[in-house]
Amino acid sequence: QMTLVESGGGLVQAGGSLRLKCQASGHYFSLYNVAWFRQAPGKEREFVAAFPWIMNPPEYADSVKGRFTIFRDDINDTVSLQMETLNLEDTALYLCAAQNGPVTRSSSSYSVWGQGTQVTVSS
């Protein structure tokens, strides 16, 4: 059974940067699609970025394209999210997720989730 643990969240001023990290433990991480989602209070869980296990390019939500970059390291079983030019709308709990099967932006398709790390952007 795979487990995911996120870290790296915190309080940052608008315009600043953060790098989130998700550490996986378990077998066959390299065979999973991995993704970041976020959820703000009172809002639905929202897709942020995904990095497929097969040789397809990463995918990004339009709201973060050009500002966020997803990385995966199959040697160390980690997936990271570099976030630049943060704004108030990026404030949310950020969750790492993994799944087998076709790459998808739907949270319901992901079977493995971390507990999340809070990102708060202040003005």
Residue 82 has pLDDT above 90, yes or no: yes
Read off the tokens for 1: 């059974």
Taking only the tens place, the pLDDT of each residue in 109-121 is: 999 999 999 999 9
Helix (H, G, I), strand (E, B) or coil at 64: coil
Question: Which tens digit of pLDDT belongs to each residue from 20-79?
Answer: 999 999 878 888 999 999 999 999 999 999 999 877 899 999 999 999 999 999 999 999
pLDDT at site 27: 77
